[in-house]
Amino acid sequence: MHSFLTHHRRKILVLTISVFVLILGLIGQLGYLMIVRSEYYSELADELHERERTIKAARGEIVDRNGKVIATNRTVCTVSVIYNQMKDRERIIEILCKELGLQEAEVRKKVEKRSSREIIKTNVDKADGDRIRKYGLAGVKVDEDYKRYYPYQSLASKVLGFTGADNQGIIGLEVQYESYLKGRDGVILTLADAKGVELENAAEDRVEPIAGDTLTISLDVNIQKYAEQAAYQVMEKKGARAVSIVIMNPQNGEIYAMVNAPEFDLNHPFALDSEMVSGSAEEKQDLLNQMWRNRCINDTYEPGSTFKIITAAAGLEAGVVSLTDSFSCPGFRIVEDRRIRCHKVGGHGSESFLQGAMNSCNPVFIDVGQRLGVDAFYHYFEQFGLLGKTGIDLPGEAATIMHKKENMGLVELATVSFGQSFQITPIQLLTTASSIINGGTRITPHFAVKAESRDGTEIREFTYSVREGVVSGQTSETMCYMLGQVVAEGSGNKARVEGYSVGGKTATSEKLPRSRKKYISSFLGFAPAEDPEVIALITIDEPVGIYYGGTIAAPVIGDIFEMILPYLKIEGNPPENQVDMHP
């Protein structure tokens, strides 16, 4: 009996000690949670009872050089539902279907889903959102948002780009300058009870959004409009596949206009022609990518005779040719085993280098290339900046496709000298020509001028790299004179503008494969010839009928210059008062 009592007391003692230890452990854990981890669990509790809604920031506007708004915002609404706050789900489903034009099954699925917030529809017109708000439906939230809007619809579409459903830039300047344009979203914080129902009398915390910066670009709406009009006219007249035009200041690289006809409607960037929409999703996306493509910077082409500007500058700079050097053109040159024709079958006969340039004579430029040789020619490619990219502030710039130096024989040297057997982007050709005629400074083509906060307190002026000494002042002056003569009396004479001296070069290049007999006609022009303030390049892709650049491309640039030179307040130089620029 005694041993039994002793054993029983031991069990009670062990149990008492165990309970005591357990209570001490619980007290210790509670103390740890209340004292050491109190801040952490307090934050968790706050998060449990807080509802957070985003206040969208207004995206920054894009304005042209004169302050005209070319990309802005329209107020739209986002309609959403909060499950725990809804009282009459059937009425909510009925009203949202009616006001938003949605299918009942789609709305019901979202309304009956147990989640903290379900978005019913975004980009709802403000008038529709206001009407839904007036119903006073518990659990239905109508928050104001912004949708990108382009007042000029298709103007410079492939330059500006557009935004997606989340208002983020997708292509063009919209994505290039996303960090400046996007702004910073704000938030609304409200308190909810344990069931998730917002407390009516609880204070609401609000962090205001910060609007995106206003981006000022060098593009001029009036010049862009006129250039687009000219592009569409020649495209229709010649039945061309596409027409591109770039107009730039050759002294600083500011781009006044960049046309890629046909353009597309920026307010409906995913809309394809009805006959195009029958394919698969992948085929549709390919069509959209083609429609959005900026051929001035994304595509390369064989430049043809406009590249003779580079060959001439290299020859003059190296001292292997002068304007008065004599050449003979029988209508072809034989290089190794190749007979390379001149565009004039009977040949130009005896001519100076200046006359060869005015006649756009292939044999003359083949000879200049041979005089330079592969090593020297390649040296000038690098010196002129042709083998890299221009650094233009748009995404997806393509690089020049050129023969490797070790693979460049005499035939390749000959064909490159008059602009064939390699490929270049229009913007690279225009930029390189600018550096040759502006005194020898390699500039960076660009659009962005400055970014300014909405309240005007912060302004960033954009700067771009330049490289001097691309060619000597003497070479640049000689090139301006030579190209001025090409327009005054040579193959580019259809680009003449009364009262102004214009310089330039024509080109007609045959596309690959040659058997297709498809051409790109182009003209590069600048004015005034003696001191260029504006330079332009037009490329006409696959014109029907007459396809010579001097016949169909040069007049377009002439017409554009006739309109924009007075507009840019560039002083004229009447022919009878023009000074001979010949050095």
Distance (Å, whole) CA 309 – CA 392 = 21
Given a contact cutoff of 8 angstroms between Cβ atoms, the answer to whether 271 and 265 are in contact is: yes
Q: How far is CA 252 from CA 390, 444, 464, 536, 554, in A?
A: 13, 7, 9, 14, 24
Distance (Å, whole) CA 218 – CA 215 = 10
Quickly list H helices, 32-141: 38-49, 89-100, 104-111, 126-134
Given a contact cutoff of 8 angstroms between Cβ atoms, the answer to whether 373 and 504 are in contact is: no
Residues 6+ apart with CB under 8 A from 493: 487, 550, 554
> Using omega within 30 degrees of 0 as the cis cutoff, is the peptide bond preceding 528 cis?
yes
Q: What does the H/E/C string look like for 286-310? A: HHHHHHHCCHHHHCCECCHHHHHHH
Q: Identify the CA nearest to 199 among candidates 84, 327, 289, 61.
A: 84
Q: Identify the CA nearest to 390 among candidates 306, 295, 297.
A: 297
Given a contact cutoff of 8 angstroms between Cβ atoms, the answer to whether 300 and 400 are in contact is: yes
Question: Is 360 annotated as catalytic?
Answer: no
Distance (Å, whole) CA 132 – CA 141 = 9
Q: Identify the CA nearest to 470 among candidates 447, 444, 449.
A: 444
Active-site annotation holder among 80, 157, 244, 305:
305
Residues 6+ apart with CB under 8 A from 266: 71, 150, 153, 154, 157, 160, 162
Given a contact cutoff of 8 angstroms between Cβ atoms, the answer to whether 376 and 369 are in contact is: no
Distance (Å, whole) CA 549 – CA 505 = 9
Phi, psi of 439 (to 5 degrees): 105, -5
C-alpha radius of gyration, the chain, whole number = 35
Distance (Å, whole) CA 86 – CA 92 = 8
Q: Is 266 helix (H, G, I), strand (E, B) or coil?
A: coil
Q: What does the H/E/C string look like for 343-359? A: CCCCCCEEEEHHHHHHH
* Residues with a known catalytic role: 305
